[in-house]
Amino acid sequence: MTSAPDRPRRALLALAIGSFGIGMTEFVVMGLLPEIARELLPSAWATSQEDAIAQAGWLITLYALGVVIGAPTIAASVAKYPRHRVMILLAGALTLFNALTLVLPTFELVAASRLLAGLPHGAYFGIGALVAADVMGPGNRAKGVAFVLTGLTVANVVGVPLGTFLGQNLGWRWAFVLVVVIFAAATVAIALTVPHRPGEPSRTLRAELAVFRIGQVWFALGIGAIGFGGFFAVYTYVSPLVTEAAGAPAWLVPIVLVILGLGMTAGNLVGGHLADVNLIRAMFGLLILLVVTQLLLALTSGWIVTVIVFVFAVAFASSAVSPTIQTRLMDVAGDNQSIAAALNHSALNTGNALGAALGGAVIAAGLGFTAPVWVGLALALGGLGIAALSIGIERRTQTRVPARV
C-alpha cells in the first residue's frame, strides 16, 4: 500500500519520466544529423554532405517552432481544465507524434512530425510545474518543480548519448523507438499517480494572454530567444564539429554529448544558486561567460581536446543562464505565472530554431563546420545587448516615479 508521503514522489517521478523523454526527442537529433541526412536525403548526400546535413538541421528548427507555437496557445487554452487530464493528453500526444517520426518514410513527412512533436513540449513543462508545486504543497513547491526538470537534465547526460549510440550503430530510427517507449511509460505513470484536481473555469484564454501586454516580458523572452540561440548553434552541429572540424572519430560524439550534458547539469545548479543571490548580476555575468566560451571554442575548434573542454564550458554557461531568464520572466510577469512558465520554453526554443537555422545556413554557404560557433557567439552578444537594454529601461522608469510625486 502506498503511504501518503510516497504519493507526491511518485507523481513527480511520472512527470520527470516525461521530461526525460522530451529531453531525448529534442536533442537526440542533433547527434544524428549525418545518419538522418544519409537516409532521408540520399540525393543531396551524394552531391554534398554539407548541404544534406544543413538541410537535415531543419528537423531541429521545426521541432523548436512547434514548441514556440504550442507553448502559449496550448497552456492558455487548457488552463481551465483539470490538470491531471491535461497532462495525460499531453503525454499521449508526445507518444503519438514521436511514433510518427519513427515510422514515416520521407524527409518531408518526418519534418511535419517534428513540428507536431514540438507542440505539447512547452505546455507539458508549464502545466507540469504547476502540478509539481501543487502535489508538494507550500514550502516545497520549488523542490517539486526542480525534480520534474531533472528529467530533462538527465536526458542530456544519459538519454541523448544512448540514443545517439543506438542511432549510429543500428540506424537513427532506433533512437526514436526508445523515445516512444519512454513517453508511453510516462503516459501510463501520469494516469496512475498524478492526483485528480478540479479545473479553474475562470482562467480563460483571454486572461492568460494578457501577459503579452507587459513590455519587460518581451525583453525577457528576447534574452532567451537570442542569447540561448548561441548555445543551440553549437549543440545542433556538435557531431560535425567533432568529426569534421576537429577530425575526431564518430564514436567520440556520444562521449562529447555526455560531457555536454554534464556541463548543462552543473550549469543549471550553479545558475539557480547565483540567481537567488543576485539575479541581475548573475544574468549579466553568465551571458558574458557564454560569449567568452563561445569565442574560445571557435578559436580552438581544430583540436578535439579543446573542443571537449569548451563544449562543456559553453553548455555550463548557457544552462546557468537559463534559470536566471526563467526567474526574470516570472518576476516581470505579474499574476500570469502559469503562461510565463510555458513561455520560457517557447523563448528557449525560438533560440533553438534560430541557432539551428543560422548554423545550417553558414554550413550550406561553405563556411565550414566551425562557422556555427561564430554564429553562436554573435547570438550570445545579442542576448547580452537585450539584457542591457531591458535593465536600462527598467531603471529609467523606476527613477521617474519619485520625480512625479
Here the CATH number for the domain that contains residue 43 is 1.20.1250.20
Q: How many domains does the chain have?
A: 2
Final residue belonging to a domain, choices 169, 203, 237 = 203
The C-alpha atoms of residue 34 and residue 231 are separated, in whole angstroms, by 20
The C-alpha atoms of residue 254 and residue 236 are separated, in whole angstroms, by 14
The C-alpha atoms of residue 275 and residue 287 are separated, in whole angstroms, by 13
Domain ranges, residue 383: 210-405
Report the alpha-carbon angle 47-49-54, nearest 5. Answer: 115
227 and 192 share one domain: no
The C-alpha atoms of residue 160 and residue 23 are separated, in whole angstroms, by 8
Q: Give the model's pLDDT for residue 1.
A: 42
C-alpha cell at 251: 564514436
Report the alpha-carbon angle 327-338-223, nearest 5. Answer: 40
Q: Give the model's pLDDT for residue 203.
A: 63
Final residue belonging to a domain, choices 152, 173, 203 = 203
289 and 360 share one domain: yes
153 and 245 share one domain: no
248 and 354 share one domain: yes
277 and 139 share one domain: no
Final residue belonging to a domain, choices 173, 203, 233 = 203
58 and 176 share one domain: yes
Q: Is the pTM of this model over 0.85?
A: no
Q: 268 with 350: CB under 8 angstroms?
A: no
- pLDDT (tens digit, 0 to 9) for every residue of the chain, 405 residues total? 445 556 777 888 888 899 899 989 988 887 788 888 988 888 888 888 888 888 888 888 888 888 888 888 887 777 778 888 889 999 999 999 999 999 999 999 999 999 999 999 888 887 887 777 677 665 555 556 666 777 777 887 888 888 888 888 888 999 999 999 999 999 999 999 888 777 666 666 676 677 778 888 889 888 888 988 888 888 888 888 998 888 888 888 888 888 888 888 788 778 777 877 788 888 899 999 999 999 999 999 889 999 999 999 999 998 888 777 877 877 787 766 667 767 777 787 788 778 888 888 888 888 888 999 999 999 999 999 999 998 888 888 776 544 443
30 and 143 share one domain: yes
Q: 208 with 25: CB under 8 angstroms?
A: no
252 and 319 share one domain: yes
337 and 287 share one domain: yes
179 and 295 share one domain: no
112 and 36 share one domain: yes
The C-alpha atoms of residue 365 and residue 61 are separated, in whole angstroms, by 18
Angle subtended by helix axes 107-118 and 83-103, to nearest 10? 170
Angle subtended by helix axes 279-299 and 229-236, to nearest 10? 30
Q: 82 with 197: CB under 8 angstroms?
A: yes
The C-alpha atoms of residue 106 and residue 113 are separated, in whole angstroms, by 11
Q: Give the model's pLDDT for residue 401.
A: 47
Angle subtended by helix axes 173-193 and 83-103, to nearest 10? 160
53 and 140 share one domain: yes
The C-alpha atoms of residue 350 and residue 329 are separated, in whole angstroms, by 15
